[in-house]
Amino acid sequence: MGVPPHRFATMRAMPSPHHLFLTTSTREPGHVGNTEWLARQAAAALPADGAQTWLHLAQLELPPFVDLRHTAGQYPAPTGDMKTLLDATLAATDIVFVAPVYWFSIPSPLKTYLDHWSGWMRVPGLGFKEAMAAKTLHLVTTSGDRAKAQPMVDSVQLCAQFLGMRFAGALWGKGGPPGAVQADAAAVEAAASFLIADCAHP
C-alpha cells in the first residue's frame, strides 16, 4: 500500500534536525563551564543522524552593534565571524542558547549576537525574520538558584516570540564553580530528555 500523496508531501516538507548550540559563558578557553556541560548532556541524547553545530561566542569577533534603523535604514551582508554566525543561524532548525545567568540576564556575547539580529532583519533580500519564524529556540542555563534565572528565561522567551519562533523552554541547573551542576541530579535527569522530548522533527 502506498503513502497517500498529501501525507508524502508533509513528510518531505520537514527539514532534518540541525541544532546550533551557542555557548556564551566567558570562562577562559579550555574550561568547560556548568552550562556547557549540561547542554552537552542534552545534546548527547539527540538522534545520531541529526546535525549539531557548536559555536563559542566569546571566542568569535563580534563587533559592537550600531543602530542604523533611522539613518541608513538597512545593513550590508555581514562578513567574517558575523557571517559565520548568520550562516549557522540560518542553517539551523533549532537554536540552543547555552547561557549562564549573569546579573539576572544573559552574558554580554549573547546580548551582542542578539542585537545583531536587529541588523540581520534589515539586510536587503535576506528574509531573516521569515526564516527565523520556522525555527525553535531552546535555553540551557545555570545559576546560583532557579528564581534568579527567571528574568533571563522570560527575556529569551520574549525574543523568540518577537521573531515568531517557537520557544521550547528552559533547562536549568544549579551552577557555581566548574563541575557544580553535576551534583544537580534533577538537572542531569532533565537534560536527558530536554531536547529529544521536544524534537518536533521525525
Q: Which residues bind ligand FMN (CB under 6 A)?
A: 25, 27, 33-36, 100-104, 142-145, 148, 175-176, 178
Question: d(Cα 135, Cα 79) in Å, to the nearest integer?
Answer: 23
Strand ordering across the sheet containing 94-98: 51-56, 18-23, 94-98, 136-143, 166-174
Shortest reach from residue 188's CB to ligand FMN, in Å: 14
Please, what is the angle between helix 185-194 and helix 34-44, to 10°? 40
Shortest reach from residue 47's CB to ligand FMN, in Å: 25
**Which residue's CB is nearer to ligand FMN, number 8 or number 103?**
103
Shortest reach from residue 178's CB to ligand FMN, in Å: 6
Shortest reach from residue 194's CB to ligand FMN, in Å: 16
**Which residue's CB is nearer to ligand FMN, number 86 or number 98?**
98
Exposed / middle / buried, residue 169 (Cβ in 10 Å: 0-12, 13-18, 19+):
middle
**Which residue's CB is nearer to ligand FMN, number 17 or number 107?**
107
- With cell 516570540, the residue in question is 161
